[in-house]
């Protein structure tokens, strides 16, 4: 694979993974199985390892999935869900787990741990609960705070809602410590899930797809009393070592159980891989009889000292791994095939099935991925097909039961034109999917881009999928600029809109006029231009007119911009409709140039790219700002372009190893500060008085 091909595939993978992260964590409406997602993530990791200069800090391989973005309402979301929770920093990063699907990979995990550790150790094996992550803080024995995972660094404060979950104690008993954190999962048992969906169907509301979606949506309801009626359940499974120190993970959970906290009794301390395998085999069968959803087993190194020795990667601990159970299968008849257009114009075939029970829910639809996959399966309408469901979401068809095929089955014909707008489809070389090229005229693509524009990380406008669909259907909105032409009178005339809702919506539009230019550029939805890239381009050119006038060669001068991104940006600003849209947004008062940045402190680091890793005397954001204001460029990954690694306490061993391989200097914080002139540090980001932000960087 050439460098250009690798760059194109990396950008494509990042776009797919970010979109599915949003669907999973924000919309609660995933359309890709866990396994498919993990395989794409592994492919991206491999390409970034082979081409390290293409690794960027905002890559999905360097971040945990985030539930903070609330622009999308999701197909199963409710109007009563809040999108204005206060966000607070986690004291300690709330990371995700690495996944594996084979016992051989679990064995490899055990071998790596055995090789790295100089002492004997055991494993603690637990069920992997399929819910939504939560972090609880107790002070003086009382529940003080509950945060969602968020992006791993910051989470939504859902304390009042969590107080209404029946099995979470408000007051502990026994010899509990003065303050500590404990983490776990909010679940919706099958019985509560079935009752909720029966109630929703009686009220002519869309049912939830699965218990995980229902739990996540219920946790963020406006009314805490309603949260209490949803039958949510909590199980806790981890006390961060920085919060309380125990000799073993199992001892920590036994202590928590003694204080009255809901800890699972189904864990087991195992001595070797044979005992781990026996535990996995047992629960692969017995999980079907549990009252709640599980999707695997978590294997953790039990001894705390060993966990500390193994440390973390950028997004997960090295001392734990999640083994995912093989997806269940069912046989049913394929009734028809729909062809759905995605936000980027990709057309995906979706099979309509005779309803069949699978993994605790009734399945009526399954993805066929693309035209090539349909051909490989040789699937026909009327066939009996095997469907597989991983992660309790829309399943995929894996094979056809040819022995059951009858003479009246019909071979499907993949459409030659867009099912939404009628434009002839195109398929680029080496692409698996067919695309609708009518970017600016296809309704689904238009609505998808508007939804991206209003999302939290872009313009942060209080509008979700349902709002965008409603405004589009009535002809009120066709481009993001149309949003700024809406009046309170128009909104009040819409079904379901009250005065307060209209005022909040218009208020969020007004506030978006203060969103900095780099986020406005990201909000435009230029293909391949993510948050980090938008920031680099904005800071390089300073205003939108300079970007629009730039040649591809000039765009390539921007850090981290390669040929694929340069061509995409160049092409975007060659379309008259896009230039008109930018002009309208400018006329509505949106920021189209970089405001005066904080004054530089010196040029001591000019031209240097500096990777940070470890703990410092100041926070991560303050350290990055310090580097920038002395003329340097902070980076999250080591490459041949790296000037030096700034190593705090407990730096990531992989980064240290890579520096050694590439001959890149490693500087302590003391040595780093010796490079700088004697001027004050940049101020720390503000935090609440009772909060102490402690972030561990790897």
| Catalytic residue annotation | 128
Rounded to 5 degrees, what angle do the CA atoms 458, 461, 467 make?
A: 120
Q: Are 516 and 595 in contact (CB under 8 A)?
A: yes
* Cα–Cα dist 275/290, whole Å: 21
Q: Are 394 and 365 in contact (CB under 8 A)?
A: yes
CB atoms within 10 A of CB 622: 16
Provide the greatest CA pair distance for the chain. Answer: 84
* Cα–Cα dist 343/450, whole Å: 10
- DSSP string for residues in 195-220: HHHHHHHHTT-PPPSSHHHHHHHHHT
Q: Are 473 and 82 in contact (CB under 8 A)?
A: no
**Measured between alpha carbons, how far is residue 456 from residues 101, 183, 534 in Å?**
34, 26, 15
With a CB cutoff of 8 Å and minimum separation 6, the contacts of 145 are 88, 136, 137, 157, 159
What count of Cα atoms within 13 Å lies in the side-chain half-sphere of residue 105? 12
- DSSP string for residues in 138-166: EETTEEEEEEE-TTSSEEEB-HHHHTTST
DSSP state of 243: T
Q: Are 321 and 299 in contact (CB under 8 A)?
A: yes
b/e code 464-485 from CB counts within 10 Å (16+ = b): bbbbbebbbeeebbebbbbbbe
Question: Residue 662 is encoded by which pair of tokens?
Answer: 């590439």
Residues in the chain: 698
**Which H helix or E strand runs over 185?**
strand 179-187
Question: Residue 696 is encoded by which pair of tokens?
Answer: 């561990």
Q: Are 529 and 564 in contact (CB under 8 A)?
A: no
Question: Residue 296 is encoded by which pair of tokens?
Answer: 């695997």
**Which H helix or E strand runs over 133?**
strand 132-139
Q: What are phi and psi of 402, to 5 degrees?
A: -65, -30
CB atoms within 10 A of CB 533: 25
b/e code 111-134 from CB counts within 10 Å (16+ = b): eebeeebeeebbbbbbbbbbbbbb
Report the first-to-last Cα separation within the chain, whole angstroms: 30
Among residues 359, 276, 242, 229, the alpha carbon closest in space to that of 615 is found at 242
Whose structure tokens read 């739990």?
A: 215
Angle (deg, nearest 10), helices 211-219 and 190-202? 80
DSSP state of 238: E
With a CB cutoff of 8 Å and minimum separation 6, the contacts of 630 are 600, 601, 602, 603, 604, 605, 676
Name the pairing type of β-strands 644-647 and 666-668.
parallel
* Cα–Cα dist 687/679, whole Å: 23
């Amino acid at each position: 694979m050439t460098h250009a091909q690798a760059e194109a595939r990396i950008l494509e993978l990042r776009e797919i993974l970010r979109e599915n992260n949003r669907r999973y964590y924000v919309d609660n409406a995933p359309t890709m199985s866990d396994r498919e997602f993990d395989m794409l993530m592994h492919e991206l990791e491999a390409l970034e390892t082979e081409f390290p200069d293409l690794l960027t800090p905002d890559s999905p391989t360097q971040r945990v999935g985030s539930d903070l973005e609330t622009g999308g309402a999701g197909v199963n979301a409710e109007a009563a869900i809040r999108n204005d929770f206060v966000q607070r920093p986690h004291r300690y990063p709330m990371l995700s787990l690495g996944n594996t699907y084979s016992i051989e990979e679990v064995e490899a995990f055990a071998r790596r741990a055995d090789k790295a550790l100089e002492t004997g150790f055991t494993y603690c094996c637990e069920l992997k609960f399929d819910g939504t992550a939560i972090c609880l803080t107790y002070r003086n024995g009382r529940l003080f705070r509950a945060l969602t995972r968020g992006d791993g660094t910051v989470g939504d404060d859902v304390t009042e809602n969590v107080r209404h979950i029946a099995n979470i104690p408000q007051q502990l008993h026994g010899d509990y410590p003065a303050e500590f954190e404990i983490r776990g999962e909010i679940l919706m048992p099958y019985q509560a899930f079935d009752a909720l969906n029966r109630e929703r169907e009686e009220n002519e509301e869309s049912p939830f797809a699965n218990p995980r979606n229902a739990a996540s949506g219920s946790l963020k309801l406006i009314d805490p009393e309603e949260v209490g009626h949803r039958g949510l359940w909590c199980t806790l499974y981890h006390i961060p070592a920085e919060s309380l120190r125990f000799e073993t993970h199992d001892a920590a959970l036994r202590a928590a159980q003694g204080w009255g906290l809901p800890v699972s009794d189904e864990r087991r301390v195992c001595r070797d891989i044979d005992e781990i395998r026996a535990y996995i085999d047992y629960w692969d069968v017995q999980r079907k009889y549990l009252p709640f959803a599980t999707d695997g087993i978590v294997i953790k190194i039990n001894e705390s000292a060993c966990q500390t020795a193994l440390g973390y990667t950028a997004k997960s601990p090295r001392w734990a791994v999640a083994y995912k159970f093989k997806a269940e299968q069912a046989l049913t008849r394929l009734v028809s095939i729909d062809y759905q257009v995605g936000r980027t114009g990709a057309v995906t075939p979706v099979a309509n099935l005779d309803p069949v029970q699978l993994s605790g829910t009734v399945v009526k639809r399954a993805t066929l991925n693309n035209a090539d996959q349909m051909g490989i399966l040789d699937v026909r309408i009327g066939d009996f097909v095997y469907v597989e469901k991983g992660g309790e979401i829309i399943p995929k068809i894996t094979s056809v039961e040819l022995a059951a095929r009858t003479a009246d089955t019909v071979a499907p014909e993949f459409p030659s034109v867009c099912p939404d707008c009628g434009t002839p489809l195109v398929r680029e070389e080496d692409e698996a999917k067919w695309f609708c090229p009518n970017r600016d005229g296809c309704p689904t693509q238009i609505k998808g881009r508007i939804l991206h524009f209003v999302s939290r990380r872009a313009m942060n406008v209080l509008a979700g999928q349902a709002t965008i669909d409603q405004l589009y259907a009535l002809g009120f909105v066709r481009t993001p600029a149309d949003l700024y032409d809406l009046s309170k009178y128009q909104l009040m005339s819409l079904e379901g809109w009250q005065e307060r809702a209209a005022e909040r919506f218009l208020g969020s539009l007004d506030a978006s006029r203060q969103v900095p230019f780099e986020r406005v550029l990201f909000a435009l939805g230029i293909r391949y231009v993510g948050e980090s890239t938008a920031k680099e381009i904005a800071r390089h050119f300073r205003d939108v007119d300079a970007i629009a006038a730039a040649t591809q060669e000039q765009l390539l001068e921007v850090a981290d911009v390669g040929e694929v991104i340069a061509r995409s940006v160049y092409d975007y600003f060659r379309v008259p409709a896009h230039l008109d849209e930018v002009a309208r947004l400018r006329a509505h008062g949106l920021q189209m140039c970089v405001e005066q940045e904080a004054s530089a402190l010196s040029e001591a680091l000019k031209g240097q790219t500096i990777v940070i890793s470890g703990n410092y005397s100041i926070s991560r954001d303050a350290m990055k700002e310090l580097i920038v204001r002395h003329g340097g460029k902070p980076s999250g990954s080591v490459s041949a372009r790296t000037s030096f690694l700034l190593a705090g306490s407990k730096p990531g061993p992989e980064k240290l190893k890579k520096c050694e391989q590439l001959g890149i200097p490693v500087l302590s914080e003391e040595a780093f500060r010796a490079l700088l002139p004697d001027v004050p540090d940049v101020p720390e980001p503000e935090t609440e008085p009772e909060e102490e932000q402690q972030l561990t960087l790897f």
